[in-house]
Structure 1
Amino acid sequence: MGGFLLRKSGAALIVLLLASMVVFGGVRALPGDPALALGGENRDPEVLAAIRHDYGLDRPLPIQYLTWVGHVVRGDLGTDQRKLPVGHTIVTRLPITLELAFLAVLFGSLIGVGAGIIAATRRGKTSDYAATSVALVGLSVPHFWLGLLLIVLFAVRLQWLPAGGYVPFFEDPVDNLRHMLLPAIVLGTGLSAVVMRQMRSAMLDSLGADYVRTARAKGLSEFSVVGVHALRNSLITVVTIIGLQLGVLISGAIVTEQIFGIAGFGRLTIDAVNQRDYALLQGVVLVVAAGYVVVNLLVDLTYSFLNPRIRIVAAPA
């Protein structure tokens, strides 16, 4: 297990280094001059030159990259256009989006896994067709339309939940959940549809496998056959989908946070792009890339837990 973890961690560090290069180059490729955004209405060439010098924009790109990476390794993501530490800004906004993503994953996984198991065990029956149809609708509905629909129904007409805003969890846990419930449902709907379809397919493969037929031949109960033997192998596919859907959740969070007025990581990204804030945008995108790497590493480790044979296959000869 230790060797497997070291190999995966080393590969994750290499991917993160390559991602930092892509992030740096991609941000520099954005149209527009950040010095003009920082200068505001002042277009004096000497002022713009001074701004470029202060932010290191007049240096060669390789030097800018090495300087930035050196600071990142020490935990310094620089300062934004407001002279505020980028790290502090990210730490302030990131937990909001992480909470939203966690609730969305929780909602999507519970609904998707449950519906997938029901559809697989009742293949060809009404519940199977109903679950598949609902999943198709969930995949087809845009986030912005579903968000507006839920606001009109639950906030305007029924007045059960607030239409938007955010309340910190430790300030009022109940009110926090009331504000986050609708956006979590919006994000989790698409995920639940994907998880349901993949779970159904994986469960059908598992239920037709030899080890399941052997378990039934031994006289094990249907609950034990489905809930223990077939479910464990099927969850590998679900773990993969959840890991791959992280990008969908982040991109969907940008739209969802705009609709529900949540000042999270998505709105921070939009603000950084609109203001041409290089330091803030680099920090935001780097954190997202690091999140991808960490999630994929956790997915690999979960693979090895659910199916120990993966560690043996991945081991060098």
Structure 2
Amino acid sequence: MARFMLQRVITSIVTLFLASIVVFVGVRLLPGDPALVLAGETADPAVVAAIREQFGLNQPIWIQYFNYVGQALQGNFGVSTRDRIPVAEILLQRLPITLELAGLAILVGVLIGLTAGIVSAVKRGSFADYAANVFGLIGLSVPHFWLGMLAILFFAINLQALPASGYVAFTEDPGENLRRMILPALVLGTGLSAVLMRQTRAALLGQLSADYVRTARSKGVSRNREVKHALRNSLTTVVTVLGLQLGALIGGAIITEQIFVIPGFGKLIIDAVSARNYPVLQGAVLVAVTGYVLVNLAVDIAYAYLNPRMRLAGGAR
């Protein structure tokens, strides 16, 4: 097991290193000059040159990269070129908001997706099975921005039951915070629940038709115990899907936060792109990538515990 975990940790470190290069270079491939944006289109060339020197934009890109990585490893992501606030401070303000939204979306996705998948598999061929499959198809097909606008139109404008947009911190007013996060969480969690539903259904059907279940059935084991044991063995698929869907959840959060005017990571990235704010954009994307890699590392370890054959395949003895 130790060898398996070491392999996964090394793979995660290499992935983070390569991702940091892609993020750093990709940000600089964006059209527009951040120094010119800060100075203004009609600024004196000397002012533009001074801004480039201040933020190190006049150095070779490889020197900029190693300077950035060295500072980032110490928790210093630079200073925002727009308002001169440390990027780490901005990220610490915005990260809890997106984590709350993602956590609520995962809760929605797991509750709806697992329930629908189990019901669909156990009652295969019934109306509930067909309804769950239709729900899964709709959830995978409908884009977040369209679903978000429909949710605002129906729940906020027509029914006036929930706020259409805005954010209130949980520490200020927990009740109002949850009221304003319900719609974004439902919109973001719908796609995840659809994926979980289909994967849970497929995995559970496969386990219910396995030899050990047929043997237990022939011995008179109850249906509930059959489903319980089959579901336990299906959890490896569910855990893997949850880890893989984190990237889609982050991408969906960018759109969802923009629609519902939530000041989280998504809106921060959009604003940073518009302002050519390199330090904020690099820091936000790098933190998001790091989170994605760490979650997938945790998923690999959890998968190994749930499925011992995975450890053996990874080299553990």
Scaled by the length of structure 2, the TM-score of the pair is 0.96
Displacement of 1:308: 2.2
* Counterpart residue number, 2:235: 235
For 1:143-168, what per-residue CA distance to the aligned partner results, in whole angstroms no more than 9, with x for missing partners? Answer: 12221222222222222211111111
SS at match of 1:32: coil
Q: Provide the residue aligned with 1:166 in structure 2.
A: 167
Unaligned runs of 5+ in 1: none
Q: What secondary structure, in the 3-state scheme, does the structure 1 residue paired with 2:247 have?
A: helix
Determine the structure 2 residue equivalent to 1:78: 78
User: Partners in 2 of 1:88 and 1:184 — Cα distance?
Assistant: 25
Give 1:9-88 correspondences, 5 Å limit. Answer: 9-81=9-81, 82-88=83-89
**Partner deviation per Cα, 1:10-42 (whole Å, 9 max, x = no partner):** 211111011111111111111111110111255
- The amino acid of 2:135's aligned partner reads V
CA distance, structure 2, for counterparts of residue 165 and residue 140 of structure 1? 27
- Given the superposition, is the C-alpha separation of residues 90 and 21 from structure 1 closer, same or farther in structure 2, using an over 3 Å criterion? same
Aligned partner letter, 1:192? S
Amino acid at match of 1:247: G
CA contact (8 A) 2:108 2:185 kept: yes
Count of equivalent residues? 316
Deviates more, 1:71-80 or 1:303-312: 303-312
Q: Is the 8 A contact 2:272 2:280 kept in 1?
A: yes
**C-alpha distance in 1 between matches for 2:316 and 2:153:** 57
Aligned to 2:301: 301
The answer to whether the 8 A contact 2:4-2:316 is kept is no
Q: Deviations over 1:257-316 (max 9, x none)?
A: 121111111000001101111111111111111011111101101101211221122116
1:194 counterpart = 2:225: no
Instruction: State the match for 2:7 in structure 1.
Output: 7
Equivalent residue for 2:142?
141
Secondary structure of the corresponding residue to residue 134 of structure 1: helix
Question: Once the 2 structures are TM-superposed, how far is the Cα of residue 218 of structure 1 from its aligned partner?
Answer: 3.4
Q: Which amino acid aligns with 1:158?
A: L
> Which residue identity is paired with 1:195?
L
Residue 315 (str. 1) matches residue 315 (str. 2): yes
Match of 2:112 in 1: 111
Output the aligned Cα RMSD: 1.4
- Could you report, residue by residue, the CA deviation over 1:57-109 in whole angstroms, capped at 9, with x for unpaired residues? 11111111111111011111110111111011011111111111111111111
**How far apart, in 1, do the equivalents of 2:40 and 2:242 lie?**
43
Structure 2 distance, partners of 1:230, 1:206, is 5
Rounded to whole Å, the distance in 2 between the matches of 1:73 and 1:16 is 12
* Distance in 1 (alpha carbons) for counterparts of 2:19 and 2:57: 21
Aligned to 1:254: 254
One-letter amino acid of the structure 2 residue matched with residue 15 of structure 1:
T
Runs of 4+ in 1 over 4 A off after TM superposition: none
AA in 2 matched with 1:281:
L
C-alpha distance in structure 2 between counterparts of 1:283 and 1:99, whole Å: 19
SS of 1:65's equivalent in the other structure is: helix
Q: Distance in 2 between matches of 1:214 and 1:92?
A: 55
Does residue 181 of the first structure (1) align with residue 182 of the second (2)?
yes
TM-score, with structure 1 as normaliser? 0.96
1:221: Cα distance to partner?
2.1
Distance 2:219 2:19 in 1: 51
C-alpha separation between the residues in 2 aligned to 1:149 and 1:23? 34
Q: Using the alignment, how far apart are the partners of 1:41 and 1:25 within structure 2?
A: 24
1:89 maps to 2:90: yes
Structure 2 spans left out of the alignment, 5+ residues? none
Q: How far apart, in 2, do the equivalents of 1:79 and 1:288 lie?
A: 18
Partner Cα separation in structure 2 for residue 183 and residue 272 of structure 1: 22
Q: Is the 8 A contact 2:207 2:234 kept in 1?
A: yes
- Give the superposition deviation at 1:6: 2.1
Distance in 2 of aligned mates of 1:113 and 1:292: 22
Provide the secondary structure at the position in 1 that maps to 2:97. helix
Using the TM superposition, name which of 105-114 and 156-165 deviates more.
156-165
